[in-house]
Amino acid sequence: MLTEPQKDILVGSLLGDGRLECRSKTGTARFRVHHADSQHSYVLWKYLFFKELVMCAPWSTDWLDKRFQRTYRSWFFHTITSSLFRPTLTRFYLNGTKIVPIDIVQNLTPLAIAVWVMDDGCLSNKSLILNTQSFTLSEQRLLLTALKQRYGISGFINRDRNNFRLRFSPEQTEKISRVVRPHIIESLQSKIVPVSTESRTTTGPVVS
């Protein structure tokens, strides 16, 4: 059985950059973590929680972005293939596509949200943006409803070119910071604002 921290990190990662890879028709899967070189310490942090399920320590790979003829390095690891991930796989994947479960509110623990922020969050004028572009509008609304229900945190859906993402005003970003701060690793503290920071109003297109 997965530990509670493992479950939380898995959920936060699936809301962010992580993925489960189904390895058989029986529903066994492995958890894959892959982040840029700048987040090497974050990869190691995740690895420490799952190392008993991992055969090889995190390793790096270099790849060429042909658009700019620039080489980048990233770090990754994956767990063994196991039925331990089947319950999460069946909830977060539909026909091979990652989704947001209808009952996601029960999984939005402070640690899960912190991982979500570390995976996909960024600050813009003291407003937190969560890059949820891979999810549908209805799934993004579901996430906002869950955050409001569990923590009283309000956000809105912000257009990003042809996609949409979640955005939070400085006041609401400070609320999120209070929830996740104990779990944000030192190298990613820039993803949240100091709770004493004076807030300002965020402007931007809103989708209802």
Per residue of the chain (208 residues), give pLDDT as tens: 999 999 999 999 999 999 999 978 788 999 999 999 999 999 999 999 999 999 999 999 888 888 888 888 999 999 999 999 999 999 999 999 999 999 999 999 999 999 999 999 999 999 999 999 999 999 999 999 999 999 999 999 999 888 999 999 999 999 999 999 999 999 999 999 876 544 333 334 444 3
Q: What per-residue confidence (pLDDT) applies to 53?
A: 98
* Together in a domain, 77 and 15: yes
Burial class (CB within 10 angstroms; exposed 0-12, middle 13-18, buried 19+) of 99 = middle
**Beta partners for residue 93, in sequence order:** 98
Q: What order do you get walking across the sheet with 127-130 strand by strand?
A: 121-124, 127-130, 163-167, 156-160
- Short-list 63, 185, 67, CA closest to 117: 185
* Together in a domain, 90 and 147: no
Q: What per-residue confidence (pLDDT) applies to 27?
A: 83
Give the chain's length: 208
* Together in a domain, 32 and 90: yes
In which domain, by residue range, is 126 found?
104-191
CATH of the domain at 36: 3.10.28.10
Q: What per-residue confidence (pLDDT) applies to 203?
A: 37
* Together in a domain, 26 and 89: yes
* Together in a domain, 86 and 138: no
Q: What per-residue confidence (pLDDT) applies to 68?
A: 81
How many domains does the chain fold into?
A: 2
* Together in a domain, 50 and 25: yes
Q: What type of residue is 166?
A: L
* Together in a domain, 84 and 114: no
- Short-list 90, 109, 112, 115, CA closest to 101: 90
The reported pTM is 0.89
* Together in a domain, 9 and 75: yes
Q: What per-residue confidence (pLDDT) applies to 208?
A: 38
